[in-house]
Structure 1
Amino acid sequence: MKILQAILPARRNSKAAHYALVAAAGGIALGGMALFAREQTKVAERRHPPEGEFLDVEGVRLHYLERGAGEPLILLHGNGTQVEDFETSGLLDLAAKNYRVIAFDRPGFGHSSRPRGTIWTPAAQADLIHEAMIQLGVEHATVLGHSLGASIAVALALRHPASVKKLVLVSGYFYPTDRFDAALQFVGALPIVGDVMRYTISPLLARLAWGGVMKKIFAPADVSKSFSAAIKEMALRPSQLRASSADSALMIPNAIATQKSYGDLAMPVSIVVGGNDRLIKPDSQSLRLHHDIAGSELRVIPRRGNMVHHGAAAEIMRAVGAVTT
């Protein structure tokens, strides 16, 4: 009996020591990943300094690029990217031949801040862009949104119709579908849990998945190497991963809330989509939107995916209304 009494505490102590070692090892691993994420963020921001100007809009430090002269054209990028997307595709420089082009880093992307006190729905982002337009002296503009940026463009047109001369919606998501990937992002957008993930394992997982994601969004076209090089390091920062997760988590709720309002859009609407988009299916999204908006123009570009503006910038500009050669 005395022997058993001596053995049991020893075993309990052994298990406690084992769990303590596991916990310590886990803590060291998480700490190491956090240090790696912080160092990679410093490297990314050093290699990719802001190229444009900043506005202070309702507590947001909003970064933007402005080029060209003429009628204003607002460019709103998709999820996970930044204004360099429009640069590397050639769309920004092509548009600047005919327009005063203003491309914004949306809140939390590129060099724009994203205060935590706001839920950055497409409507909230649209209101922010509208205020930025006022500060820049833009009363009436053509607004082009790519992918998730198309949702913000639609929200801007619905909430501030007098400010939008024309809508150009490229590879947008407009109707609710079963998007497990978007729903999964809800976890990454949560406080505390999401923060721990973003500063530890999420940057590593995103880095491993980067090549596959690039192939999917560009397919069947080849991946633009200039885009990947310009975007990758900034996209893997914890702050931008948070913005991406939050925007993805709001995709489906926004589509549910907005889908019955598309018929209210009174301005001209051009819809552009890659005919082989594997990320956002054309039949259930852009083609359906064309049916729901009377008088809208639809351009389906063959052999292109979600990143249709890479390699088809001239076709995008024809949708905008500029004559290109």
Structure 2
Amino acid sequence: MTTAETVLVIIAGVLLLLVIGNIVFSFVAERKNPPIGRFIDCEGVRLHYIDRGDPAAPCVVLFHGNGSMIQDFILSGLVDHLARRKRVICFDRPGFGYSQRPRLRIWTATSQAGLFVKALKALGVHSPVVLGHSWGALVAVAIGFEKDYPIRGLVLASGYYFPTRRWDFWMMSGPAIPVLGDLVRYTIAPVISWAILPILFRKLFAPRAVPVNFKDGFPASLTLRPKQLRAAAEESAFLIPEAARLQSRYQDVRCPIHIFHGTGDQIIEPEQAGRLHEVLGGSDLHLVRDAGHMVTYVDSATIVQAVESLEVAMTK
């Protein structure tokens, strides 16, 4: 065996070990962090969700951001606070947590919105308030475009609404590339992601510290599974095109809108919120001082008040 052949055999062996290791890691992560909610099958997609509060009360629906899952809203306190007076439904979006993300579909904000509208109808949810954080804000806006599904209002937090030059989003989209991306996701991507995860968490919450309950309670190991890394990479690749595609339609949303954004957000610039507010005209803008991208943890009380104000407005 030549030196070159020996090197190739060693590389192949290392890659095989990484693949096996990541498959085992995913299995262990799911055993330690089993589903916390229920499942509903819609259009051939199995969605994981929680349903809290009074089933007869007005409903608020929550959509998390890229790379996250249901537990994010639970740890922020939003689910418990809202469930005191409302029915609260929170989904794992496709590919995150325990929701499926079939590869044959292009999971734009609009396609996700259409799927969730059908799921909400199947759950008997009508005229909800819809709250979206980060990438979930685009999904929430897309639901606002649905003409056959009226909503009471939108609460948008830390959203990205207008295209800008963001090379970091494109750089994070590599694991979504077919074949090559698959190889990366099952070999080195989980290892690299594990190494940078603490840095990412600090950046998400900066300028504040990462909350202790998030450190202790968020199932970070689930975010390192190859299938969730694919979903996160796809949404990194889709974010700028989706903002470019939707920006001309924002004025078509007729319901009341509250916009939240942290002034210290290091992930998405606060100017995004101000620009959306100018385009919409009649929205309420809440710029939260000394808050980062995870504004839902810093000002959850005001966000709850915003949801409740939309309920009051609809009853007048």
Fold match by TM threshold 0.5: yes
CA distance in structure 2 between the aligned counterparts of 1:91 and 1:200, rounded to whole angstroms: 36
SS at match of 2:66: coil
1:20 aligns with 2:5: yes
**Residue pair 1:84, 1:227 contacting (<8 A) in 2 also:** no
* More moved, 156-165 vs 238-247: 156-165
- Paired residue total: 307
SS at match of 1:84: helix
CA distance in structure 1 between the aligned counterparts of 2:128 and 2:179, rounded to whole angstroms: 40
**Residue pair 1:81, 1:231 contacting (<8 A) in 2 also:** no
Larger radius of gyration: 1
Q: Which residue of 255, 278, 287 corresponds with 1:267?
A: 255
Q: 1:226 offset after TM fit, Å?
A: 2.9
Corresponding position of 1:240: 228
SS at match of 2:49: strand
4+ residue segments displaced more than 2 Å: 159-163, 224-229
Q: 1:161 offset after TM fit, Å?
A: 6.3
Percentage of pairs with the same residue? 41
SS at match of 2:152: strand
Where does structure 2 lack aligned partners over 5 or more consecutive residues?
A: 311-316
1:231 aligns with 2:219: yes
1:62 aligns with 2:47: yes
1:79 aligns with 2:66: yes
CA distance in structure 1 between the aligned counterparts of 2:40 and 2:274, rounded to whole angstroms: 36
Question: Residue deviations 1:166-214, cap 9 Å, x none?
Answer: 0000000000011112112332211111110000000000001101111
Where does structure 1 lack aligned partners over 5 or more consecutive residues?
A: 1-15
**Residue pair 2:53, 2:88 contacting (<8 A) in 1 also:** yes
Question: Residue deviations 1:232-278, cap 9 Å, x none?
Answer: 10000000000000111000000111111111111000001111101
CA distance in structure 1 between the aligned counterparts of 2:172 and 2:291, rounded to whole angstroms: 26
Q: Which residue of 103, 106, 113 corresponds with 1:116?
A: 103
**Residue pair 2:158, 2:262 contacting (<8 A) in 1 also:** yes
Corresponding position of 1:128: 115
CA distance in structure 1 between the aligned counterparts of 2:12 and 2:213, rounded to whole angstroms: 37
Q: State the AA in 2 paired with 1:50.
A: P
Corresponding position of 2:313: none
CA distance in structure 1 between the aligned counterparts of 2:129 and 2:64, rounded to whole angstroms: 15
1:170 aligns with 2:157: yes
Corresponding position of 2:168: 181
Q: State the AA in 1 paired with 2:4.
A: Y
TM-score, normalised with respect to structure 2: 0.94
**Residue pair 1:143, 1:153 contacting (<8 A) in 2 also:** yes
Question: Residue deviations 1:4-42, cap 9 Å, x none?
Answer: xxxxxxxxxxxx711111111111111111112111101
Corresponding position of 2:81: 94
**Residue pair 1:168, 1:269 contacting (<8 A) in 2 also:** yes
Q: CA RMSD in A?
A: 1.4
CA distance in structure 1 between the aligned counterparts of 2:128 and 2:18, rounded to whole angstroms: 44
TM-score, normalised with respect to structure 1: 0.92
CA distance in structure 1 between the aligned counterparts of 2:129 and 2:148, rounded to whole angstroms: 11
CA distance in structure 1 between the aligned counterparts of 2:252 and 2:148, rounded to whole angstroms: 10
Q: Which residue of 6, 17, 27 corresponds with 1:32?
A: 17
Q: State the AA in 2 paired with 1:183.
A: W
SS at match of 1:154: helix
Corresponding position of 1:258: 246
**Residue pair 2:264, 2:292 contacting (<8 A) in 1 also:** yes
Q: Which residue of 134, 149, 154 corresponds with 2:136?
A: 149
Corresponding position of 1:46: 31
Corresponding position of 1:3: none
